[in-house]
Structure 1
């Protein structure tokens, strides 16, 4: 009897707490780290509930996973408060489903307000109450599985990631506002593991994060370390093998930065297998309520003068052309176009009036708050939401951010310059506002020279945004010198590029570069001939299509519209075709984006990385350069 009672209590406890835990059956190739990423928990959380997993971890093992989220901050979630009822007399042919849609409530809410509907069917003449709600945005605080950690002297991102058994990208995901260079005393979020679980850090060693598809052969070429040497320094490698994202201990002095990993671009045409019709929603601010379709001239003026509308229409054309290209490959698409009116109220109305539960992906909206509302609303349904034209405020688990982060762009140009063995030196020229950025560049290039802009002649406390030719004397010797120009001031760019152009003589080669190519490098005051002479290099999320090569998309657009496609047309085409190709090559967009799959189309490429505590962020960037007044990819 006692045993029976114990079993009953255990079953009751399991039933009570089932919502707090998930069972996961280990699949071949999975690790504790990949499983932790999938469920947004830390490896420590899994070990805490499955202590045997440390010594016995193999396929078909059943693990208990805490059904919780790791979150730095509380999040805003909508809740509904009942504020009263409206009386309604049922008319002929009215149904419970139809009334729920009409009044924007659920069928269950209607039944709760009219108890007889649980046992009887709705019929003509019934007098029922329609509940009325007020939507309230409330903060939900989630149980944290993170703790605060104070950065110690000589600690960088690599060492801290190694210490807590996570990757650098995971550390960055936990700390979205972390500076590119962390300083002693900074407080960071780290996995909440016990002190004795932390790996010991030896200051006489360096640390390296394994990139996707890196094997021991690649690491031998890159780090000049054999498999035996790496296993000696990292004994767990013999058991786990190399895994993307793991941080390895390496001898001090080894160049752990290396080049940005070049992942082989894949043409998904050979991988197509899922030919089910793809359901895609395109949510864009067409603002059709402001357009009079009968006033042709006025509509033309709006398209010409309203830049936002022009961008939206260009993107839309690219989407439609991508659907046509996909159709030629056997991929059919059911596209639903929705007008958000560039306002959150319009977006909320679309969410209330449409069922997205069977959609494969939603592209948009453009406006930040509207995008956040859609992503949050569809997160529970696990519907992918594509941030096509903007960086979302929050990269939820169902979000695909197509625009890479600035730190990745910065890393791309730095690694590009580091990889050029023919350079003689690096010079950094900066205005006062970008002094911190420039000093960080000096740390990347220890022997570089830093030149700051001069102060204003009249107001000595104000940046003058200029330098003299004497500031550049005895700086440039024969050979190749890279000059990083860090500023967002147009006149400073004009001043520096003009001076540098005059110094390109004899055997002296000067390559201009920047980590942030902003509007200061454009406009009537900037001489593109100077930029071209200096072979201006910068990181970019896209490249211009190659005019010298045949391109079916470009040819089709020119034939239809008489001009070359804008970058927004190309972006609409590239993003949409990539989504459809990935969906046709796997069961879902998530499945098609878990590995290091890099795709490239007309002007954009995509390689998504799943953040430990968020969604998918594009990691693929270009380094481009001015070449005889053309902008081409720098190889």
Structure 2
């Protein structure tokens, strides 16, 4: 026992010496102490303490030993002044000198002479009557605030500010509970009060990476190809704090978006309106009004019901009109031309030939691929930017803006999300024969995964179902993640109902092990929105997917919904919301930048009701939207998975 105590003492002594050598100290928590009080005592911020003691975020327990980074202490400025309180008479005795009097009364020779001016010309003699000043020392301590006020710079978002001051985005949000989702230029927020030379700058020659929960140096080496020493060289604070969830790391420049998980900063263009000159936009939609039965109201209604292009065009156009109203209230002057393409390539050519597009600032539409391709090609000679509302995998001419994210980007987003999960998962891929290529691609991404294909009939065609045992045999105890790849509603319904029934909790008495199942897909389509699928099953399976738009959330859009219902007497659908979002974004980019092309760099990421836009330029070509949502079914609703 004595040996053990002696050894433990040596270890503690060594640990303490090491801590001291690195300019740190320790503090043993007393009952009732708060992190704020401890931080104030050592002149550091709570974030400085949390960085070395992450468990302290869960609460302080008495006798817990905290490591205190003394090197980060910002001690208060202490000034001492002497205030004259009065005088004391003194009759000089033999052998007394000015020096002995200064020691006796704690004053200086100059202070004695100041109030006994005869001493400037004469020496001190026995019997001299002196006025000795009596002073009171007043100490002023200039308290150091743990936080400082920072004014947000143009186009600056949360992660940039967090990186500058060496904290995580969550810590920045904790300092500013009412900060909002999007920072605005000139907005004043709280940041840690650190020395000016400690504030870091964003260098565009580097890329930046956001550390995921429970992510260590080994996983970062696999993902980023960087050793711990290389990361510490670029991020010296790592040597003190180690890796923290949400920490922003500087890494060598990379154009691989799959590695960089820090999303571009959101900006609010409403606060950046600088150009109040009239902007001219055109909207091209396949109304096909020439086919509408105008003989009666019932005839018009019947035409809308039976013409999907007219129906979609009217929905989108209603959103455009709502955006125009909103922009007018912001003081934006706008000229809008609306053209009916009649769903004909020849009509698109005729519209462009018959009208002057040279001074048009932007064109929204057409909706359909062939018509859009013709319009974008014809408008290239005028260098007019043209924005596709719904098209994917378009011919990206240098004047094209594809607002809907590419399918490959959505696929990469969900795959990388699954890869980033630090909890080990057994991967299962369930697919029909039409999605065999995707299944094999997933198999390459996840080598140890198992594939389950749809049952087939005697002719080798899909029956679009699987049996319970087909899936049960592929599952393992613990965490299972299942990719379901299909566009068939019946198959999707069959698989989700079986998966939901196979989830089980651990039961020690019955010797049943836990089986957890999470469902995902690389291609979210109508099959997963079918009435045949139970939303309860999807919620139970925490169904995850990537999408170019968020799911409708009426609470977030209460003002828009209220105004839309008042104007059209119906609730806006996704097409109407897309019309609103896209028009708002295009016009606000035009009035906050010189043109739409420059806005792609000056406004990296914008977000509206259901859609966000982060345009990136192809090396030889146009612009594609790089902004993607990760969504998940939860409690019978669809929520965004925060990264």
How high is the TM-score relative to the length of structure 1?
0.59
- Secondary structure in structure 2 of the residue aligned to 1:380: helix
Matches of 2:587 and 2:318 in 1, distance apart?
16
Matched, 1:563 2:570: yes
Q: What is the CA-CA distance between 1:541 and the residue it aligns to? A: 1.4
- Secondary structure in structure 2 of the residue aligned to 1:625: strand
The structure 1 residue matched to 2:597, chosen from 587, 590, 594, is: 590
- Secondary structure in structure 1 of the residue aligned to 2:425: strand
Q: What is the CA-CA distance between 1:453 and the residue it aligns to? A: 2.6
Cα-to-partner distance string for 1:119-166 (whole Å, 9 max, x where unaligned): xxxxxxxxxxxxxxxxxxxxxxxxxxxxxxxxxxxxxxxxxxxxxxxx
Matches of 1:465 and 1:376 in 2, distance apart?
42
Name the structure 2 match of 1:512: 519
- Secondary structure in structure 2 of the residue aligned to 1:319: helix
Q: Call closer, same or farther: CA 1:586–1:499 in 2, change over 3 Å.
A: same
Matched, 1:317 2:343: no
The structure 2 residue matched to 1:623, chosen from 630, 636, 639, is: 630
Name the structure 2 match of 1:425: 426
Q: How many residues end up aligned between the 2 structures?
A: 409
- Secondary structure in structure 2 of the residue aligned to 1:626: strand
Name the structure 2 match of 1:326: 327
- Secondary structure in structure 2 of the residue aligned to 1:496: helix
Contact residue 480 and residue 518 of structure 2 kept, 8 A: yes
Contact residue 260 and residue 412 of structure 1 kept, 8 A: no
Contact residue 213 and residue 596 of structure 1 kept, 8 A: no
Matched, 1:447 2:454: no
Q: Call closer, same or farther: CA 1:364–1:257 in 2, change over 3 Å.
A: closer
Contact residue 208 and residue 262 of structure 2 kept, 8 A: no
Name the structure 2 match of 1:153: none
Q: Call closer, same or farther: CA 1:259–1:243 in 2, change over 3 Å.
A: closer
Name the structure 2 match of 1:551: 558
Q: What is the CA-CA distance between 1:301 and the residue it aligns to? A: 1.9
Name the structure 2 match of 1:361: 362
Alignment of 1:392-541 (within 5 A): 393-456=394-457, 458-459=458-459, 461-473=460-472, 475-506=474-505, 507-541=514-548
Q: Call closer, same or farther: CA 1:623–1:329 in 2, change over 3 Å.
A: same
Contact residue 259 and residue 416 of structure 1 kept, 8 A: no
How high is the TM-score relative to the length of structure 2?
0.59
- Secondary structure in structure 2 of the residue aligned to 1:481: strand
Alignment of 1:45-444 (within 5 A): 215=207, 223=224, 225=226, 229=230, 246=255, 257-258=258-259, 260-293=261-294, 295-391=296-392, 393-444=394-445
Q: What is the CA-CA distance between 1:468 and the residue it aligns to? A: 2.3
Contact residue 212 and residue 245 of structure 1 kept, 8 A: no
- Secondary structure in structure 1 of the residue aligned to 2:382: coil
Contact residue 532 and residue 628 of structure 1 kept, 8 A: yes
- Secondary structure in structure 2 of the residue aligned to 1:590: helix
Alignment of 1:11-22 (within 5 A): none
Cα-to-partner distance string for 1:384-418 (whole Å, 9 max, x where unaligned): 01111323642110011111111100011111222
Cα-to-partner distance string for 1:37-79 (whole Å, 9 max, x where unaligned): xxxxxxxxxxxxxxxxxxxxxxxxxxxxxxxxxxxxxxxxxxx
Q: Call closer, same or farther: CA 1:385–1:231 in 2, change over 3 Å.
A: farther
Q: What is the CA-CA distance between 1:467 and the residue it aligns to? A: 2.3
Q: What is the CA-CA distance between 1:226 and the residue it aligns to? A: 7.5
Name the structure 1 match of 2:139: none
Query: Which segments of 5 or more consecutive residues in structure 2 lack a partner in the other structure?
Result: 1-202, 212-216, 235-249, 506-513
Contact residue 550 and residue 610 of structure 2 kept, 8 A: yes
Q: Call closer, same or farther: CA 1:562–1:214 in 2, change over 3 Å.
A: farther
**RMSD of the alignment, in Å?**
3.0
Q: What is the CA-CA distance between 1:359 and the residue it aligns to? A: 0.8
- Secondary structure in structure 2 of the residue aligned to 1:351: helix
Matched, 1:572 2:579: yes
- Secondary structure in structure 1 of the residue aligned to 2:298: helix
Q: Which has the higher contact order (CA 8 A, sep 6+)?
A: 1
Q: Call closer, same or farther: CA 1:596–1:560 in 2, change over 3 Å.
A: closer
Matches of 1:576 and 1:216 in 2, distance apart?
31
Q: What is the CA-CA distance between 1:510 and the residue it aligns to? A: 1.1
Query: Which segments of 5 or more consecutive residues in structure 1 lack a partner in the other structure?
Result: 1-210, 234-240, 248-255
Contact residue 554 and residue 561 of structure 2 kept, 8 A: no
Name the structure 2 match of 1:72: none
Name the structure 2 match of 1:611: 618
Q: What is the CA-CA distance between 1:442 and the residue it aligns to? A: 2.1
Q: Call closer, same or farther: CA 1:227–1:550 in 2, change over 3 Å.
A: same
Cα-to-partner distance string for 1:320-368 (whole Å, 9 max, x where unaligned): 1111111222211100111211112221211111010011101111232
Matches of 2:363 and 2:447 in 1, distance apart?
46
Q: Call closer, same or farther: CA 1:289–1:430 in 2, change over 3 Å.
A: closer
